[in-house]
Amino acid sequence: MKRSLLIGALALSAGMCSGSFGQVTGKVMLTGKVPEMAEIAGIKNAPDCAKEHKDPVYEETVVAGDKGELANVVVSVKAPEGKDLGTTPTTPAVIDQKGCVYSPHVIAVAVGQPVTVKNSDTTLHNVHSLAIDNPAFNFGQPTVGQKKLEPFKTEENFKIKCDVHPWMACWVRVVNNPYFAVTSAADKGIGTYSIDTKGLPDGEYTFVAWHEKYGTQEQKGKVTGGKAEVNFTFDADKKAAASPAKELKVASIAACCEAKAVASK
């Protein structure tokens, strides 16, 4: 399995409740031919970036285990129409930049949740979002430090990139309730997730799994005593029919650059 060791220890998205009532747990699998991720050659050519890595760093569009366990999938509970679920998390979700790599590669946050962007490097980064439904942002972080973002106002999937280091990219999925998790990229437990269900009434819900390449799946599941097991399987050999990509031209704040933003709900 080729991937950056920098990401390996990150299992779940920030911002979930620390207390435990019950869990929705499961695993996400990938069948078919798992694509090989290319090494990020640009890191080797940037001394300030390369010094942070002992091993080669690979693209993270698809991170899968030896048996097809799929990391970086956001699994969430879909709120019934016209109903609100849970309360907005107050713990900030954190996006870091370390070794000229965004960490984590995929982050899930709730509408209204605080979000912080950190720069753990001593080199300049540029944090450029390609959001469409939420206000876009584009700012530089020239030194070690952090910046608080305005909380996101609506559900959306969008990409964040760095104009200084073009290989740097991460994805943000904004959901409308606190019941979500991201499947683990750690060697132990890769592809697994656990959603804390504190405050979630028992009942039947629609569960949604989203991946940046393979799109969106939904399935029903019943929560009993705060617990449920919901598993998903994506097919690497099929296109994402459930969430067709739409290509949009986005004007850069810094210049008239052309970018591709993929939004799937």
Q: Is residue 223 part of a domain?
A: yes
What CA–CA distance (Å, rounded) separates 251 from 151? 22
Q: Is residue 166 part of a domain?
A: yes
Q: Is residue 66 part of a domain?
A: yes
Q: Is residue 69 part of a domain?
A: yes
Q: Is residue 35 part of a domain?
A: yes
pLDDT digits (tens, 9 = 90+) for 208-264: 999 999 999 999 999 999 999 999 999 999 865 444 333 333 333 333 333 333 344
The residue with greater pLDDT, 39 or 81, is 39
Instruction: Report, as an integer, the average pLDDT of 202-207.
Output: 96
- CATH number, domain at 126? 2.60.40.420
Instruction: Report, as an integer, the average pLDDT of 95-110.
Output: 97
The whole-chain average pLDDT of the chain stands at 85
Q: Residue 93: what pLDDT?
A: 97
pLDDT > 90: percent of the chain:
76
Q: Residue 82: what pLDDT?
A: 78
**Closest CA relative to residue 109, chosen from 61, 169, 155:** 155
Is residue 135 a contact partner of residue 156, using CB atoms and an 8 Å limit?
Answer: no
pTM of this prediction exceeds 0.85: no
Q: Is residue 197 part of a domain?
A: yes
How many domains does the chain fold into? 1
Q: Point out the least confidently predicted range of 46-55, 186-195, 251-260.
A: 251-260
Q: Is residue 1 part of a domain?
A: no
Structural domain boundaries enclosing 241: 23-262
Q: Residue 20: what pLDDT?
A: 46
| Rg of the chain (C-alpha set) | 18
Q: Is residue 16 part of a domain?
A: no
Q: Residue 21: what pLDDT?
A: 55
Q: Give the Cα-Cα-Cα angle 72, 174, 134 (nearest 5 degrees).
A: 130
